[in-house]
Amino acid sequence: MHVHPAIAALRSDPASQRRTQAAMADTLRTWREASWQREIAADLARYAAGAVLTDCAAVSALLGDRGAACAFVAGWSAPLIEALNRYPLAEVPFGYRHTKGYSTVQLLSAGGATLGVSAYERQPGGAEPRTALFVDRESSELVLAGTARGASHRLVDDGTVETSTETWRSGDRIAMHYRRARQIVAVEGALLVLQLSRTPRTPRPTRQYRLADSCLLKVASGDRQASRDLMALAVIGAMEHPAGLAAMQQVCADGARDPDVRWEAVRQALALDPAGGFALLSGLAGCPTDPLFNPALRLRAQLAEAHPHLAEAA
């Protein structure tokens, strides 16, 4: 394995390693001890504890003023870049993630709340979104630089998804929550965004809908037990054993179970035995008091139109 000479030299020089680590530690400590930074960190802790954003003056002001937000980001990035110029092999003391065309750095966190910066690289524009993902996370974003085109989605009470085309520019605010989502389709140059988010202790399931007909495609539960149940149902379905239908029917009939687990049982039953799964779906669609009544009614109508033989057999 080839090792760059600079890395090899640092490996063999413990004193240089200590100087590099100390430089980054000093940079981080200086940033955290600044008075404006302490105010924001304290507000983030209040926000994480459940306070509404408007009651967290420092953080609220940051997200309401692009100039203040840019100064905040510059106050973080400038000393960090200076330290990296002196010690280019130093480890950045912040959580970060990078994928093709997207990078994000977490600057602060407290409980389920985080404050970070995200950058989207130039995207000439691709296919329009076909699905929307709704996550149980409250999020407030402020565009610091750049322009992007995308879609804003709203999940209404009857389970349908309303979508509008959006263009976001420098200074724009974007708010998201369990029933609101957004997708970026094209970016001019680059897009830099300051992001505040808060996730509840027990988040509701993440849901993916098809935009063409608001069909619920996928559910990922925030509850650990429900997640295990969903995985178990997926395994049973993948086995394609006829006895699996009885297990799906049993899960679906248990009204005490997580609704998303019951809905997954319906989906797996339809894949395993379309006629048996359709009968299961029809039972839910005939019970207005069941939490799955509306999605079952809608899916039953869609399947009956696309596959009339299922309705005839039922």
**Least confident piece of the model among 10-24, 53-67, 83-97:** 10-24
112 versus 222: which is more confidently predicted?
112
Residue 134 and residue 205: Cα distance in Å, rounded? 9
Residue 279 and residue 252: Cα distance in Å, rounded? 12
- Rounded mean pLDDT, 49-54: 94
- Rounded mean pLDDT, 145-152: 95
Q: Hey, which of 5-9, 31-35, 120-124, 142-146 has the most confident mean pLDDT?
A: 142-146
Q: Of the candidates 113, 172, 159, 157, which has an alpha carbon nearest to the alpha carbon of residue 132? A: 159
Query: What mean pLDDT value characterizes the chain?
Result: 90
Residue 311 and residue 304: Cα distance in Å, rounded? 5
List strands edge to edge, sheet with 131-134: 131-134, 206-210, 216-220
Q: What DSSP state is assigned to residue 204? A: P
pTM for the model: 0.72
Q: What is the pLDDT of residue 46?
A: 96
113 versus 35: which is more confidently predicted?
113
Q: What is the pLDDT of residue 13?
A: 67
Contacts of 207 (CB under 8 A, 6+ apart): 133, 134, 155, 216, 218, 219
Q: What is the pLDDT of residue 132?
A: 95
Query: Is 157's pLDDT higher than 90?
Result: no
With contact defined as beta carbons under 8 Å apart, do 135 and 166 qualify? Answer: no
Q: What is the pLDDT of residue 191?
A: 96
Q: What separation in angstroms does the CA of 221 have from each of 135, 204, 226, 245, 263?
A: 10, 7, 6, 22, 12
Q: What percent of the chain has pLDDT over 70?
A: 97
Q: What is the pLDDT of residue 11?
A: 75
Q: Of the candidates 145, 183, 144, which has an alpha carbon nearest to the alpha carbon of residue 166? A: 183
pLDDT digits (tens, 9 = 90+) for 92-103: 889 999 998 999
pLDDT digits (tens, 9 = 90+) for 260-287: 889 999 999 999 889 888 999 999 999 9
